[in-house]
Amino acid sequence: MADTTITQRDDRGNWGPTYLEQLPASMVWPPRLWGSLKWFFGWPGYLWPWNSVFLAFALVSWFFLTPALASMQTFEVWWVALIFARNLGLTVLYVGGLHLYFYIIKGQGNDFKYTTRGQATNNKGFTFNNQVLDNMFWSLASGVTIWTAYEVMMLWAFANNLLPFIELRTDPVWFVVLLVLLPAIRETYFYLTHRLLHWRPLYRLAHHLHHRNTNIGPWSGLSMHPVEHVLYFGGVLIHLVIPSHPIHVMFNLVLNGIAPAAGHSGYDRIGAENSKGVTIGGYMHYLHHKHFECNYGGDGLPVLDKLMGTYHDGSEEAQERINRRRQERHGAVS
């Protein structure tokens, strides 16, 4: 893959990678063994660094910031409040940290930033007339609350032996395999529900709130209508039928709760000024917010968009294809 240059910016302040986005080697046919291994184990890749970071958050939460499972057999205010406070703190720490670095102290200026525009202020399209405050409100008041509600329900069910339960010492292979699969499972669920949310009735009811953010920032990732939050976090219900441990549930929810912040950061990578930095996987989703009818999946599993004809790699050809599909659909409607 060609290097990315920080000088590739047009006269309107828009920037994009100098290379076209490519499918990972594991997602093309015929598969390439060495390329697939590099994608899976490499840096950055499927495991490192981001999915490993989110797993670390889940492990710390389980071992140090979650009550004993036996104490959660009945709903009590103290442990529900503890889990809410933990999720709130994690969100503020991670998402707020990215916002602090990119937009307050401007740790790398506009290097690798998709547009030179800042977050909107004095804009009546946002709650409080402010994009950041709008996004923080919906992320914390609705997002963290619904995230916590799902987690509390699942932990209570585990505590009362209502869910298929496994442990590392008794089922080590499946325990690890499920941890590895969860990011891909989450990406697949996200693609399907995201396509559903672009169905006009659901878009008007809920998803339009998220798409206020045409110029995205870290707090945009979890900024959604409560109806969308219920659907978005609903992927955790897979653990009602798949043998799991509470760690799997918490990893699933952490992926949904804080992973979108990096993909919505508005930056291609994070790192020192003028350096290559570390890719944070936001370009595909930036194009979704910019062009609307493409890249419905996350950056981690773009093969779904490729298969469904909604893949946009940043090229003029891809944009022309999206424009043709839009014209055909609108022509059919009229």
CA distance 260 to 298: 9
The pLDDT, as a whole number, for residue 243 is 98
Q: Closest Cα to residue 174, out of 255, 248, 251, 63?
A: 248
Q: What percent of the chain has pLDDT over 90?
A: 67
Enumerate residues 6+ apart whose C-beta is below 8 A from 5: 18
| Radius of gyration, CA atoms only, the chain | 20
| pLDDT per position as a tens digit, 130-145 | 999 999 999 999 999 9
Per-residue pLDDT at 147 exceeds 90: yes
Across 250-274, average pLDDT: 91
CB neighbours (10 Å) of residue 73?
13
Across 267-287, average pLDDT: 81
- Tell me the CA end-to-end span of the chain in Å, nearest whole number: 43
What is the CA 187 to chain-centroid distance, rounded? Answer: 8
Q: Note the pTM of the prediction, 2 decimals.
A: 0.92
Residue 25's pLDDT band (cuts 50, 70, 90): low
Please give the backbone phi and psi of residue 198, each rounded to the nearest 5 degrees, phi first. Answer: -90, 0
Enumerate residues 6+ apart whose C-beta is below 8 A from 188: 301, 304
Give the Å distances, CA to CA, from 151 to 90, 223, 331. Answer: 14, 19, 45
The pLDDT, as a whole number, for residue 308 is 82
Amino acid occupying residue 163: L
CA distance 80 to 92: 18
| pLDDT per position as a tens digit, 287-334 | 899 888 889 987 767 778 888 888 888 777 887 887 887 777 666 544
Residue 272's pLDDT band (cuts 50, 70, 90): low
